[in-house]
């Protein structure tokens, strides 16, 4: 099983785009969802931690799927480094909006799957 970025969905005025999420779930029919939870390097919460956990809870209630929380520490930094390396290697020609967010989401999912024994590569 592999992870790859599909789309970046933005919240509007703090509200998720539930229809876009529903469309992705309908198209891809996942068996579970993984939500990145931002925490400080020491594992403590930060201002957006509570919002991310609330979002995970809302996903579970709306779509009746298992929702797993994943530590997203360093995912943005790792995504920036990977994106720069891909550009330097000629695999990405220019930076577009959401590139690093998509890469970070893919890294969060891959890390979660690896930690739970569901990903071999």
Q: What is the mean pLDDT of the chain?
A: 82
The SS3 of residue 13 is coil
Six-digit token string for 88: 């330097």
pLDDT digit string, tens, across residues 66-86: 999 988 876 667 667 776 777
Residue whose pair of structure tokens reads 């790859």 in the numeric block:
4
Same domain, 21 and 46: yes
pLDDT digit string, tens, across residues 83-112: 677 767 776 656 665 677 777 888 888 888
List the domain range (segments joined by +) for residue 80: 74-121
The SS3 of residue 12 is strand
Range with top average pLDDT, 13-17, 39-43, 103-107:
13-17
Same domain, 24 and 44: yes
Residue 33: which CATH number? 3.30.420.140
Same domain, 113 and 78: yes
Same domain, 67 and 82: no
Please say whether the dihedral angle defined by the alpha carbons of residues 55, 74, 93 and 91, taken in this order, is positive or negative. negative
Please say whether the dihedral angle defined by the alpha carbons of residues 33, 113, 118 and 121, taken in this order, is positive or negative. positive
| Mean pLDDT value across residues 33-54 | 87
* Alpha-carbon dihedral 53, 110, 6, 95, rounded to 10 degrees: 100
Inside any domain, residue 4: no
**Predicted local distance difference test score (pLDDT) of residue 121:** 45
Choose between 24 and 42: higher pLDDT.
24
Tell me how many domains the chain contains. Answer: 2
Inside any domain, residue 6: no
């Amino acid at each position: 099983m592999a992870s790859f970025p599909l789309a970046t969905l933005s919240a509007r005025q703090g509200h998720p785009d539930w229809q876009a999420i529903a469309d992705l779930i309908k198209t891809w029919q996942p068996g579970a969802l993984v939500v990145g939870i931002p925490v400080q390097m020491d594992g403590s919460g930060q201002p957006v931690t509570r919002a991310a956990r609330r979002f995970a809870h809302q996903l579970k209630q709306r779509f009746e799927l298992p929702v797993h929380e994943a530590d997203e520490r360093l995912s943005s930094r790792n995504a920036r480094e990977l994106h720069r390396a891909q550009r330097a290697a000629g695999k990405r020609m220019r930076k577009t909006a959401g590139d690093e967010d998509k890469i970070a989401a893919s890294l969060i999912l891959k890390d979660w799957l690896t930690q739970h024994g569901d990903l071999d590569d």
